[in-house]
Structure 1
Amino acid sequence: MQFYSPVVNRLFSHYFMRFQILAILLKRIIHHGGYDRLNSCNPCNSWFILPTMTHPSHSPLVYCIVLNLNGLSVIEEALSSIQKMTYANFRTLVVDNGSSDGSPGFIRERFPDIELLETGRNLGFGGGNNVGMEYALNNGADWIFLLNNDIVVDKNLLSELMDVGLDEKSSGALGAKIYYYDEPDKIWFAGGNINFFTGLTTHRHIRMIDTYENEHVQESDYITGCALLIRASVLKKVGLFDEVFFPSYVEDADLSMRIRHAGYKLRYVPKAKLWHKVSSFSGGGLTPLKIKLRTAHSLLFFRRYARWYHWLTMPFFILLGSVIFILRQGLKGNWTLIQALFAGFAQGIRKVSSQVVSKVQ
């Protein structure tokens, strides 16, 4: 039965169509958290322009924390890319870890809208980030995003991560796909594996060209601290970085394990992307300090989290890996690296014996 005349029908259809478009736009606002992002994709821009809103109240507040130590040569590109991210509600905080290269003054002058904390001395990776995380938690952060100072981010990085974090309530922390800055198609991190039977922590697909199409969100054993997004409520429950891992290495794996044991998932989001100037942060290649710290802190980490049956095989693989390392470096004449390996074992044993290792069953 026809209830309306053709003229009334056309008028009804016309205004009903506009009502549907308005409903779709409002739905996008609620889901994506920003008016400004809609203006660029609004199919009806000619008749309906939405006002720009930078920090809508319904969008969770993310604190982006960038730890800096003498990063004057890299910090500008990192902060410039971070400030261009499309996510609607975030603040950027730089924690300066005792720089002597003038970078704090440069940051104040070049980025006056970015918050800056100065520790006055090098507190290490964990200690410096802990200062920033405490500040963020005290200032209402819903999520905390840890970032290295030697990275360049895709503008949609945080939006992609938050889309997954908000959809997957079991997510305690999220990580992105990280490429080498100098080889922008080569993967540095695409999720992490921890093998307690061999005593190895590894980056998935490291040094491989990215040919992975239609890659889905995946669970990860750990998330690298280079780009680590953590739910604030989870952080309050499990605690901050353990500063026993001073000055650096393995503290991100330790925090990841605590998040997992609290019942939350770690998720790798392949659509979230950034590029890491790997050598500028670590000094490039193998160094005695790096070998010593990684060896010592790995011993402490596996002593803390491995179960008894893992130790049936782990010592063999640790010994095998050490012998191979010694032979390779000995043939190259790198005796300082071999000495650093033994120093790392000694330091790790001392740390294990001096710590009350809380086993999580």
Structure 2
Amino acid sequence: MLIQRVYAYLINWNGMKFLPDVLPNLLNAKRECDFSLTIVMIDNHSSDGSAEYVKTHFPEEVRVYEALRNGWLYSVDECLKNDKPDIFCLLNNDQKIDALFFKNLLLPFQDESVAIAGANVLKWDQITKTLGVVEVDFNKAPLSEHLSRNFDLVSEARNGLYLSTAFVSFGACAIKRQAYESLGGLDQIFYPGYCEDMDLCLRAWEKKFKVVLVPSARSFHFGGGSMRSLWDRIRIRFVIGRSVLLFNFKYQWKNKKRELIAFYLILFIKSWVTDPAYGLGLIASLARMPKLKFKQANAIDIPANL
């Protein structure tokens, strides 16, 4: 694939405390690129002066896009309509990257069938692994409870190699725009977040695209930088409960109804005692259920890494 236009979208939501470290780090990685890279900070209605800071301190290097609608599930599409990149990268505002991050992350797109490439995500300490190659057992329900992360494959991978994975983190990834648009983009039923990345990756596999992890493209994630600054634990648990249930039902309702109902009845009873916010999220998911576009998860084929 001939790559001419690459955009890196830094998703920001009250991330002022991270930007003085993160932005110089991104610009350093940009200098190593042998292709055109434009860095855009998508600001989702921040109230901490993030947008003003970037406009003042990085007026030439970073473009600021102030989202029309609050929430990155909407604002990314707003940018894509105007920018029309060949490849776009999505980056959390609370992470740093290796100097060769962009160069390595885009290598898999030489294969025309690759739609999404994800980074090797570690924690802020640059040691602790967080994602790895994700493997899924589609024959067990609920899907979210039967994911495994293979870190050995990542550690043993040769430089330049990329690995098949069920999904990647959209906090550090690259996506082919044409593939993204053909898949219909992010499913906004997961607004304001959680599970939207898993969902798009599985839809990519369903349409015979490839989703890969690139071990040599490393990012170092603080974790929850925006969410924790805006919401308390109760709101976060509510959103997670709702999104995870919707994800499981979307992919397994057709063939695992009994298992899902049994699991969530027990989980609801337990959560009402130990984690009521999560339980409320489960109830709230019912309001969005009529809009779900159900899939047949066990028909999705993800090849094993040899």
TM-score (structure 2 length as normaliser): 0.83
Q: CA deviation at 1:107?
A: 0.3
Distance 2:153 2:271 in 1: 29
2:242 maps to what in 1?
296
Q: CA deviation at 1:87?
A: 1.9
Distance 2:82 2:294 in 1: 27
- Change in Cα spacing, 1:193 to 1:296, as seen in structure 2 (3 Å) is farther
Q: CA deviation at 1:200?
A: 4.0
Distance 1:120 1:106 in 2: 19
Identical aligned residues as a percent: 21
Larger Rg: 1
- Change in Cα spacing, 1:293 to 1:194, as seen in structure 2 (3 Å) is farther
Say whether residues 1:118 and 2:62 are aligned partners: no
1:232 maps to what in 2?
177
SS in 2 for 1:308: coil
Instruction: Letter of the 1:171 partner, please give it.
Output: V
2:79 maps to what in 1?
132
Cα deviation, 1:217-246, whole Å, max 9, x if unaligned, reads 221111211112111110121122122222
TM-score (structure 1 length as normaliser): 0.71
Q: CA deviation at 1:279?
A: 4.0
SS in 2 for 1:224: coil
- Change in Cα spacing, 1:79 to 1:188, as seen in structure 2 (3 Å) is same
Contact 1:136 1:144 survives alignment (8 Å):
no
Q: CA deviation at 1:305?
A: 2.1
Cα deviation, 1:57-101, whole Å, max 9, x if unaligned, reads x65321100111111111232221111122222111111111111
Instruction: Letter of the 1:135 partner, please give it.
Output: N
Cα deviation, 1:302-339, whole Å, max 9, x if unaligned, reads 22222633335344444565666667xx4xxxxxxx22
- Change in Cα spacing, 1:145 to 1:263, as seen in structure 2 (3 Å) is same
Instruction: Letter of the 2:252 partner, please give it.
Output: A
SS in 1 for 2:249: helix
The alignment's C-alpha RMSD in Å is: 2.8
Instruction: Letter of the 1:348 partner, please give it.
Output: S
Residue 270 of structure 1 is aligned with which of 215, 226, 230?
215
Distance 2:87 2:269 in 1: 43
2:118 maps to what in 1?
175
Distance 1:190 1:321 in 2: 27
- Aligned pairs for 1:187-202 within 5 A: 187-196=129-138, 197-201=140-144, 202=147
SS in 2 for 1:283: helix
Contact 2:118 2:168 survives alignment (8 Å):
yes
Aligned pair count reads: 287
Distance 1:278 1:256 in 2: 21
Question: Which consecutive residues of structure 2, in runs of 5 or more, have no partner in the other structure?
Answer: 300-306
1:161 maps to what in 2?
105
1:186 maps to what in 2?
128
1:255 maps to what in 2?
200
Bigger relative contact order, structure 1 or 2 (CA pairs below 8 A, ≥6 apart):
2
Contact 1:171 1:267 survives alignment (8 Å):
yes
Distance 2:255 2:78 in 1: 37
Distance 1:214 1:250 in 2: 27
- Change in Cα spacing, 1:254 to 1:74, as seen in structure 2 (3 Å) is same
Say whether residues 1:280 and 2:222 are aligned partners: no
Cα deviation, 1:221-277, whole Å, max 9, x if unaligned, reads 112111121111101211221222221111112221222222101001111101001
SS in 2 for 1:221: coil
Distance 1:324 1:210 in 2: 36
2:94 maps to what in 1?
150
